[in-house]
Amino acid sequence: MRIPVAVFGMFVMFVVAVGVLFLGVLGFTPVNACTGTCYAPFMMATVGTVVIGLSATFATWFRALREPRAYFPWIGAALMVALYLVALSVAEQVL
C-alpha cells in the first residue's frame, strides 16, 4: 500500500512544485533595477522549491524500493506551500 501512496504523493508534490515555481517566477521577478534583498523572494521560491523537491524525492526512494517512505512527498508538498507563504511575507517587506 505504501508504493501507491508514495507515487500519488510524488504526483501531488510535482503539481505543487510547478505551481509554486510558476507563481514564484511570475510574482517575484523584480521589474526595477535592484540588488541584493529584492531577489530574496525570487530565490526562495525557485531554489528552495527545487531543493525541497529533490530532498523529498531522495528521502522517499533511497534504499527503500520495497517499502518507500510514503510520508516524505506529502511533507515536501507542505514545505513548498509554507516556503511560498514565507516568500510572500518577505516580498511584502522587501519589494
**Tens-place pLDDT, residues 47-71:** 999 999 999 999 999 987 678 999 9
- Residue 31 pLDDT exceeds 90: no
Q: Give the per-residue pLDDT at 94.
A: 82
| Segment 63-90 mean pLDDT | 91
How many helices (H) and strands (E) the chain has is answered by: 3, 0
Cell, residue 12: 501531488
| Segment 75-84 mean pLDDT | 96
More confident residue, 41 or 29: 41
The pTM for the full model equals 0.90
Q: Give the per-residue pLDDT at 67.
A: 87
